[in-house]
A and B are shown apart, each in its own frame.
Chain A
Amino acid sequence: MLDLLVIGAGLAGLSAALTAAEAGLNVRVIAKGLGALHWSAGTIDVLGYLPPSDAPAEQPLEQITELGQAHPYALCGAENVRAALAWFQSLIAEEGLSYIAAAGEANAWLPSPAGARRPAYLVPAAQFAGALDRPDPMLIVGLLGMRDFYPALIAENLGKQGVSARAQFISVSEITDRRDANTIHLAQAFEQPHRRRRFAEALARLVRPGERIGLPAILGLDDHAAVLSELQSVAGAPVFEIPTLPPSVPGARLYRALRSRLRRYGVRIEAGMEAINFAADGRLIRWVETETSARPLRHHAAAYLLATGGILGGGFSSDAAGRLWEVVFDLPLSAPPDRNQWFRSEFLDPRGQPIFQAGVEVDSGYRPVDATGQPVYDNLWAAGGLLAHADPLRERSLEGLSIAAGRGAALALTRSAARQPAHT
């Protein structure tokens, strides 16, 4: 029997699975599909803003305490957040992905795909040279023929914010002969040495001395470090990636690195397995069933960890009658009972929309609780975007919260498993 079944293959689920596997637990990850990380910019955002204020958070690790006692970060504890991030940074480096934090634990400010300022805490090495507080001017290079990346728009917006930037194009045909290529195809095209060389030489012709070069985040998938290093040496300038619309290559790299780490521990990620049913004896979950081509498949585990995300991640569903529910265990949610209270009248209300702060309430050991604060099940833990009282997209806290809570929940359940032997 499994020690732990993790439901959800986003950053929270994978961080939890890795933490438990490191502790020697026999773990399986199931997921309806692959998600979350493939939509992310690949950065680890810990805290960018403190709503309802528009003021940026400059010291995310210190300022998470300002989010209040109900926020899941308070549950993690600032020191555990710092430790979880250090753990993540070191393991991901071992998988060949280097992440850098700005000096003094400050947020780095990077260009978004629209040229806006975007805060991030741990930054992929390939994005780090895009920091907006550096003085050197930028050359933003787009690929003519690639969809959804507009260097002139980025350069103009950066210019309005006082960052010196100009835009240029290189034909997409320098790197691929495909008539139609998405970001992943382009990233794979950069792994062909001769095409990459040609592209690097085209860059060298465009760049002026003292400039740094911003490119769409398509610089290789598996061989990313080599691509980046060759472009920089041939062009003779620092090169940085700017995230794109999905599919996000930096996000895919992160997913692949975590997957390869998990495989080394013998942990399987089963995609295409949607949890549709479960059974419990009192407060003990006995099994979870997933949908298959015919009969449901039953998964037995001593412990279960729910990391299915919030509304966007698919962890919650709702209907027109005003019901909001958690899709696997139908856990109590903190949503306003009246659907009319889900949204404020202003779309961009600085206090955010109540429905997006709704979620699963957990106790100090990350176990979902009912209205009286009692654990709903003794062998169920929860982590990530589904936790109540956070507004990760507005706070820019999604990745930090996922890693810290994912690891925290797995450590809590590991301690609990050590106290009482696995139920059979």
Chain B
Amino acid sequence: MHGISWQSVDHTLDACIKCNICTTYCPVAAVTDLFPGPKYAGPQAQRFRENGQPISPDHAVDYCSGCRVCNEVCPTGVRIAEMNARARAQIAATEGIPLRNRLLGRNELLGMAGSFAPRLANFGLHNPVSRLLAEKVMGIAREAPLPRWSVDGTFGDWMRSTRRARLKSNKKVVYYHGCATMYYEPFVGQAAVAVLEHNGYEVIVPPQNCCGLPMLSNGEFPAAEAYHRRNTARLSSYARAGIPIVGTSTSCTLTLKEEAPELLDLHDDAVHTLRMGVWDLFEWLQEQHDQGELRTDFRPIELTVPYHAPCQQRAHRVGKPALALLNLIPGIDVRESHAACCGIAGTYGYKTEKYRIAMDVGAELFDFVHAQGPHIAFSACDSETCRWQMEHGTGIPSRHPVEFLAAAYGLYDLERRSLVSPP
């Protein structure tokens, strides 16, 4: 069985009544028949995978993007996306993992490596020749919206260099930044720290790893397990002490809460403690607001902002707190996207054979953004890869909701993406 557990999934398999609602709402099956739909690749094919059958019956499951819309709409609670993730891991365990997928799974390593010489790394990656080579040799789509390394230092560098200026307080939160904030978008972390400190919280940033999601998506379970065990060792003591762990990358927080423990079948106390201590930042801010403890001294932001709650945020199953909180800002006109998915699904849309699918999936969202008017300055979304995809698909810059909050507190410049000194 190559160590792939079917725990938790196998119990839900029998709940499938083959009603096809998952296939009806699957954004991938809607645009390509390379993926026949969640019902077929998931519960139906699963009958041929369990009980010691070593070979997954088909490879179409590789075309599942893992967006989890199927789980969201399933009326009987079948864990379809998890089933598909484990099927991919089973294929990876029997057939090996292509170099490209290994590489895409290691965004922490890539982030770290590029950050030694970010300008060089950006030039090395973002020029037509290397993108062509990457496509031909590796199968990474030439046009795909790969990020750029921060040339102003990492988020860690910023935390260290501003250590003395950071707020000390009895009220503490732990910030889980994730790889994207660390190496590509430190300003998102700066905005989060500014918002948390503005609300009187001291922000602790302990050493932490990649959450392991890119590896889980690419079927590399053993490596993902090593990451999650390390994160558990480093972070669960904070959760045990009652200090909330908040994150701005909604797919990372989902992985720490649910995907890693469930897919990897890790259920010890420390893993559970970490799970219960992790919050998506806006989930936690909403909770503060419900308690009347969120500061609302917002300055007006006169913007129309199309907001897309990404699949991984919706998979938290906590509603859309960013939508509610952005609406507290005077003057802002937040338009809610009802598109299922932007298409990118982490590393899915980077892959040459899936790039077109990802763009076709995202078309509904791109059209929605454009339909909000000719002068849209920014869209908003809680997930970094989705923001990059939205920018790629629309040509309009995208921001994390926390950047808007920080700007409304007068602490952040939305245009330049940097903190401003308080008056």
Contact = CB atoms under 8 A, between A and B. Distances in A.
Contact of B19 (A180, A246, A271): A246
Nearest to A177: B33
Given A38-B19, A181-B33, A185-B33, 11 more contacts: A33-B21, A35-B19, A182-B37, A247-B20, A272-B314, A293-B254, A293-B257, A294-B257, A294-B278, A294-B279, A297-B318
Given A188-B30, A273-B317, A294-B275, A180 B73 contact: no
B33 A274 contact: no
Interface string A278-299: 0000000000001111110100
Given A247-B23, A247-B24, A33 B257 contact: no
Contact of A274 (B21, B77, B319): B77
A292 B253 CA distance: 13
Interface in A260-274: 263, 268, 270-274
Contacts of B23: 182, 184, 247
B303 to A, nearest CB: 21
B33 A33 contact: no
A25 interface: no
Contact of B24 (A252, A268, A273, A293): A252
B317 A293 contact: yes
Measured as residues with beta carbon below 8 angstroms from the partner, the interface class of chain B is 20 to 34
> Chain A contact residues: over half helix, strand or loop, or mixed?
loop
A268 B318 CA distance: 13
Given A182-B20, A182-B37, A247-B24, A33 B77 contact: yes
Interface residues of A, number: 35
Contact of B33 (A178, A263, A270, A297): A178
A294 B254 CA distance: 9
A314 interface: yes
Nearest to B20: A247
B276 A295 contact: yes
Contacts, number: 88
Contacts of B254: 293
B72 A272 contact: yes
A329 interface: no
A185 B36 CA distance: 11
Nearest to A298: B290
B72 A292 contact: no
Given A247-B19, A247-B24, A185 B30 contact: yes
Contacts of A185: 29-30, 33
A32 B276 contact: no
Interface in A168-192: 178-182, 184-185, 188
B276 A34 contact: no
Interface string A206-226: 000000000000000000000
Interface in B21-63: 21, 23-25, 29-30, 33, 36-37
Nearest to A37: B21
Contact of B21 (A38, A179, A294): A38
A32 B77 contact: yes
B121 interface: no
A87 interface: no
A290 to B, nearest CB: 7
**A-B pairs with the 5 shortest C-beta distances?**
A35-B75, A33-B75, A272-B72, A293-B258, A178-B33
Interface string B274-285: 011011000000
A34 B75 contact: yes
Contacts of A252: 24
A297 B320 CA distance: 12
14 contacts: A32-B76, A33-B72, A33-B77, A180-B33, A247-B21, A252-B24, A263-B338, A272-B315, A292-B317, A293-B257, A294-B275, A294-B276, A294-B279, A295-B276
